[in-house]
Structures are given as C-alpha cells and as structure tokens.
Amino acid sequence: MEWKASHILVKDRAQAQEILRRIKQGANFESIAHDVSTCPSKSSGGDLGWFGPGKMAAQFEYACKNLGLGSISDVVQTQFGYHIIKLTGRKD
C-alpha cells in the first residue's frame, strides 16, 4: 500500500482547528498550505508525494489509511505538530 498526500503543518492546535474550519467552508487547501504551513512542502501546496508504510509518523500514516481519496482529515497530532491531511492518491 502506498499513499499520496498533502498536508498543512502548524505548531498550535487552535490554529489547526481554525484552518480546518476554513477549508470545510471552501477555502483552498493548497493556498492555505502555501501561506501558513511550517513544513518545507508548503512551497508545493503541501504535497508530500508518494510514501509507503513506515515512512511517516504513525499517527499520520493511520490517518491516511482511514481517509477516502480526496478527503481531508481532522486535526492529527504528531511529534512535529498538528497536521491537516488531504489524501490525493492510493495504490494497493
């Protein structure tokens, strides 16, 4: 199994929840990632490319496993901060 995902990473849970609210109201995921994410992937709208099991933090991978294609996660906490994840691909 492999996944392709984009994410927005911030240090504060309240900020992540506010970003998620904006996205659910129709804000553009990639634009927000570019503007506020603390991950270097922000330059590509949060795109992390393809990855397989064991390549991401366990909580991040678990969220990807349980998302439908094109879906956006709730706020996911890892040792890096708070993520909002958009699943953009899946290979079995």
- Tell me the CATH number of domain 2-91, given options 3.40.50.150, 3.10.50.40, 3.30.930.10, 3.20.20.140: 3.10.50.40
Kindly write down the DSSP assignment for every residue of 53-71, as one continuous string: TTSS-HHHHHHHHTPPTT-
> Rounded to 5 degrees, what angle do the CA atoms 25, 87, 23 make?
10
Number of H helices, E strands in the chain: 3, 4
Strand-pair partners of 84: 8
36-85 residue pLDDT tens: 999 999 999 999 999 999 999 999 999 999 999 999 999 999 999 999 99
Tell me the domain boundaries of the chain.
Answer: 2-91
Strand-pair partners of 89: 4
pTM, rounded to two decimals: 0.96
56-65 residue pLDDT tens: 999 999 999 9
Question: Distance (Å, rounded) from C-alpha 47 to C-alpha 83?
Answer: 13
